[in-house]
Amino acid sequence: MKFRAIPAIFIMSNLSAAVPDRAELDRMAARFARVEMKVDLSSLSAGDRKALPKLIDAARILDNLFLTQRWTGTHALLEKLKADTSALGKARLAYFLLNKGPWSEIDDHQAFLPGVAVTNPPGANFYPENMSKTEFEAWLKTLSEGERKQATGFFSVVRRGADGNLKQIPYSTEYRGELEKCARLLREAAALTANATLKRFLELRADAFLSNDYYASDVAWMDLDAPIDITIGPYETYEDKLLGYKASFEAYVNVRDDAETAKLKFFANHLQEIENNLPMEAKYRNPKLGALAPLRVVNQVFNSGDAAHGVQTAAYNLPNDERVVAEKGSKRVMLKNVQEAKFQRTLIPIAGRVLSGADQKDLSFDSFFTHIVAHEISHGIGPHQIKVNGRDTSVRLELKELYSALEEAKADITGLFMLQYMLDHGQLPADGGKAERKLYTTFLASSFRSVRFGINEAHGKGMALQFNYLTDKGAFMAHADGTFSVDFAKIKTAVRDLARDILTIEATGDHAAAQAMLERLAVLRPPMAKALDSLKNVPVDIAPVHVTAMEATR
């Protein structure tokens, strides 16, 4: 699973009226700020430095495969665009590459080129374009159990045979040529690295490309703990909008961030102490927390395929194979330099409009990222397995459709509580009160960034709830000039109160209370709506230029 908000409010309204001209295409592309991604490779061993370009080349092959998977016409259209050297042709090519196809992702996948369908085919190139869901389901009934499993699995395409009947082809056959090349590169990289967990993952993943059995390599990926942190293969099923079965190829070639990894360890060591001090009745606290789900903080050198189109992924949770998840859990990878680029190109301009000049000085990427880490860790504390009227259940089961939004708000606010606790107890440097100012001011500015992506989605909804709660407590203030600020005399108590309210709803599995809270607070009130209106020209996201990857493979 990946985390890319759907920015519904940035849709360009006149797109459906006509095919956009050059000026319009430039405006559309400008919503993505170009950022050069540079990563320090000096900590890599000599062997790893030689392995890296092999992995980037392998990732490029998957980029090409993803284009094949997206739509039958992608490659032919791309060649046509490359041949068009007019200014309009160039603008079309640039926006095509950004979207990896002729449909503008953040405009609800509307076509921006002439001569293509108004939106992308729901079955992408995983199924015949003229196949209906009903036909697929009827065909399933004719299959053996094993065949049916494959047909509804991640790693096969469905095609129409000469007789007009449906048939399936495993990825290892359908994409043989490219996957062989990719496997060869992974093996060459495996031979160059000295890290045993990386070697093992690369060898097993190379086998998987050719055998179509990804299980062992998914398990090896869970154990991967290496300076080069790579994710490569068919993973997410978002592109299969018809049935949601088929996985798209993608790759993330990353380098582990050792300083952040040490910070994570430090947080993990204090986790039980935080749980023991959570602002809720003592009986709801967990006296013995289990192990934290694995978290990695990395810097992205290169991304490709399904990992690299439209809004950029800032974090992902994998694998998706339920057998592996049941056995080994899943791992979350956080892309620190991608977060930083988004911070620079979207949050700083947002803060320029919603904070006063003086408060803008307290905006800090370090605070921003530390809070993201605290948010992730906070998902692991607080109530999960609970008892309601003596019955064993879980927060998720009790809160149902409200769970995601409330749990996201809980992770944010408990993350703030946790960092404040650590500041108060000398576990993090208070920096003469500056750390606190930075933490809350950065959080205030980032609330506009989250809500900007819409309050129909869990993170935006959870953030609107917090913003309004903290405002009602006087901890956030709206001013007549359109700016907002933190009342530092009130914020700590307000954060604690909100954490207590949410944690208690979770501990008691109180659906009615969750509903009342969300209905009252997870809304867009006029001052925030007005502020969001003033942010229309701030970039939606980034368009990374992989400078380090280009240098490494030159």
Contact residues: Zn ion, CB under 5 A: 408, 411
Angstrom distance (rounded) from CA 463 to CA 8? 16
- Measured from the CB atom, is 293 or 547 closer to Zn ion? 293
* Closer of 105 and 408 to Zn ion (Cβ): 408
For Zn ion, the closer CB: 39 or 314: 314
Closest approach, Cβ 376 to Zn ion, in A, equals: 7
Q: Give the residue with the Cβ less far from Zn ion, 278 or 406.
A: 406
Which residue's Cβ lies closest to Zn ion?
411
> Is the CB of 406 or the CB of 411 nearer to Zn ion?
411
User: In whole angstroms, what is the distance from residue 424 CA to residue 422 CA?
Assistant: 5
The closest alpha carbon to 250, from 229, 266, 236, belongs to: 236
Based on CB atoms, which residue is closest to Zn ion, 28 or 315?
315
Q: Residues 531-535: contacts with CB within 8 Å, 24+ apart?
A: 531/353, 531/354, 531/448, 531/482, 531/484, 532/9, 532/448, 532/451, 532/452, 534/353, 534/482, 535/349, 535/350, 535/353, 535/448, 535/452
Residue 143 in contact with residue 165, Cβ under 8 Å?
A: no
Residues 379 and 395: beta-carbon distance below 8 Å: no
Nearest CA-CA partner of 549 in 255, 193, 297, 340:
255
- Burial of 526-547, coded b for 16+ CB within 10 Å and e otherwise, reads ebbeebbeebeebbbbbbbebe
C-alpha distances out from residue 306 to 28, 59, 85, 237, 465, Å? 21, 11, 27, 10, 32
Q: Which residue has the tokens 């997206």?
A: 70
> What residues contact 401, with CB distance under 8 A and at least 6 apart?
none
CB of 375 to Zn ion, least distance (A): 6
d(CA 346, CA 350): 6
Contact 334, 261 (CB under 8 A): no
The token duo for 195 is 């890290």
What b/e string do you get for 372-384 counting C-beta neighbours within 10 Å, with b at 16 or more? bbbbbbbbbbbbe
Of 19 and 292, which CB lies nearer to Zn ion in the complex structure? 292
Instruction: For Zn ion, give the closer residue by CB, 190 or 347.
Output: 347
Which C-beta is closer to Zn ion: that of 7 or that of 234? 7
The DSSP secondary structure of 513-524, one letter per residue, reads: HHHHHHHHHSS-
Tell the smallest beta-carbon distance from residue 315 to Zn ion (Å). 9
Distance of alpha carbon 508 from alpha carbon 280, whole angstroms: 11
Least distance (Å) from Zn ion to the CB of residue 402?
15
Report in angstroms how near the CB of residue 372 gets to Zn ion at its nearest.
9
- Min dist. Cβ of residue 48 to Zn ion (A): 31
Residue number, 341 or 411, with CB nearest to Zn ion: 411
Ramachandran area for residue 108 (φ above 0: left; ψ -120 to 50: alpha; else beta): left
Confirm if 37 and 300 have CB atoms less than 8 A apart: yes
CB of 308 closer than 8 Å to CB of 2: no
Please say which residue, 371 or 546, places its beta carbon nearer to Zn ion: 371
